[in-house]
């Protein structure tokens, strides 16, 4: 598992994750939380190249506001 970053906010039904550095998960990557529960998948990468943001589309059973501040990982 590789850390993809921390959820900084929720916007338009997506979890916005700030990557820790310039190595980031690609679009389509499955995303899990610390308990290895599947959260969703990366649908977009945007922002500065040095530390981009990732937009994660959540699964239907995920409560987005509860993810803010949590660290997410690539499966």
Q: Could you give the percent of the chain with pLDDT greater than 70?
A: 100
pLDDT at 75 over 90: no
Kindly report, residue by residue over 17-32, the tens digit of the pLDDT: 999 988 899 999 999 9
Contact between 5 and 72 under an 8 Å Cβ cutoff? The reply is yes
Contact between 56 and 39 under an 8 Å Cβ cutoff? The reply is yes
Query: What is the spatial distance between Cα 6 and Cα 4, in angstroms, rounded to a whole number?
Result: 7
Q: Which of 73, 59, 72 is nearest to 13 (CA)?
A: 59
pTM of this prediction?
0.92
Cα 13 to Cα 2, 22, 49: the distances in Å are 24, 25, 24
Mean pLDDT of the chain: 95
Number of CB atoms found within 10 A of residue 47's CB: 13
Kindly report, residue by residue over 6-18, the tens digit of the pLDDT: 999 999 999 999 9
């Amino acid at each position: 598992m590789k850390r993809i970053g921390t959820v900084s906010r929720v916007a338009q039904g997506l979890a916005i994750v700030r990557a820790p550095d310039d190595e980031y998960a690609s679009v389509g990557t499955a995303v899990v939380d610390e308990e290895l529960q599947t959260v969703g998948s990366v649908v977009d990468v945007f922002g500065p190249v040095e530390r981009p943001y990732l937009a994660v589309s959540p699964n239907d059973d995920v409560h987005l506001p509860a993810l803010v501040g949590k660290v997410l990982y690539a499966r």
